[in-house]
Amino acid sequence: MESQDYHAAMAALAWQIELGVDECIGDAPINRYEVPAAVAKPAPVAAPAPAAQASAPPVPAQEVDAVAIARAAAEAAQDLEGLRAAMAAFEHCDLKKGARNLVFSDGVPGARVMIIGEAPGRDEDREGRPFVGRAGQLLDRMLGAIELDRASSVYITNVLPWRPPQNRDPKPEEIAMMQPFLRRHIALANPDVLVVVGNHACQALLGKRGITRLRGEWTEAEGKPALPMFHPAYLLRTQAAKREAWADLLSLKARLRDG
């Protein structure tokens, strides 16, 4: 294109834009409503696959038997240190995920008296030892009243080794999951008598609840004489129950004295 023709064309284009032209139109008219034959006919829809050819439904994952796994791990432990390691390695209890520490035991392994509580609280979770909060301080005073103490004559543990969130009650499935470890714990510690404190400990070892009815009556658990008692935390809330607790302590003292 010659330079003169180029500048003339640009001037004509600018003039048309100034007039408001905003679209280029060809010489031949186009019917925009006309649909091409290839598009007008819908494509045939494929028939659904026969039911026999449908893919098989996914197979659900097999549920884990946490109680059986706990039982095998507990039975394999040959001593208390081995049992502690087995519990620390157990990954099927969700309480472990929210706890700071495994609360295994306190006191003297092999002592004549083994006290079994329910579950750790905030203070126990922080220190990794059972019965160290206000309830534990009361328990120490109660034991001292009958010439016992955790430093020389008592062994202490709980049904659950991990703190439940917000100190809620243990769930039945949590108790069932940790029962094999508790039973093995008793067998390895081999005390003369068991002191079972609180409803949940009674549920785990005696298969019963109703501590007001059960307390003070000697029974048997895991082949050992067992004495159900009020939990010290309950005694902090219910001062009137301390009379019954004192009677239970005297019964424990008499049992130890008489062999």
Q: Which residue has the higher pLDDT, 160 or 44?
A: 160
Confidence band for 170, pLDDT divided at 50, 70 and 90: very high
3-state class (DSSP) for residue 259: coil
**List of residues 6+ apart from 250 with CB closer than 8 A:** 146
Measured distance CA(107)–CA(195) in Å, rounded? 14
Pick the more confident residue, 5 or 54.
Answer: 5
User: What are the angstrom distances between the C-alpha of 213 and each of 38, 92, 161, 208, 224?
Assistant: 88, 34, 27, 10, 20
Measure the CA–CA gap between 119 and 117, rounded to whole angstroms.
Answer: 6
User: Hunting for tokens 């834009």 — which residue is that?
Assistant: 17
pLDDT tens digits for 199-237? 999 999 999 999 999 999 999 999 999 999 999 999 999
Q: How confident is the model at residue 16 (pLDDT cuts 50, 70, 90)?
A: confident
Question: pTM above 0.85?
Answer: no
Name the residue with tokens 């609360």.
103
- Among 91, 166, 162, 181, smallest CA distance to 120 is for 162
pLDDT of the residue at 1? 47
Percent of the chain having pLDDT more than 70? 81
| Lowest pLDDT segment from 44-48, 178-182, 218-222, 250-254 | 44-48
Complete domains list, the chain, with CATH: 66-258 (3.40.470.10)
User: What confidence tier does 259 reach under pLDDT thresholds 50, 70, 90?
Assistant: confident
Task: Check if the beta carbon of residue 155 is closer than 8 Å to that of residue 109.
Answer: yes
Q: What is the mean pLDDT of the chain?
A: 88
d(CA 8, CA 12): 6
Assign 191 to helix, strand or coil.
Answer: coil
Q: Tell me, what's the pLDDT at 57?
A: 64
Alpha-carbon gap, residue 143 to 54, rounded angstroms = 70
Band of the pLDDT at 63, cuts 50, 70, 90? confident
Percent of the chain at pLDDT exceeding 90? 75
Evaluate if residue 58 carries a pLDDT over 70: no
Contact 87, 200 (CB under 8 A): no
Contact between 204 and 159 (Cβ < 8 Å) = yes
Res 132: pLDDT = 96
For residues 90-105, give the mean pLDDT: 97
pLDDT at 143: 98
- Say if residue 240's pLDDT is above 70: yes
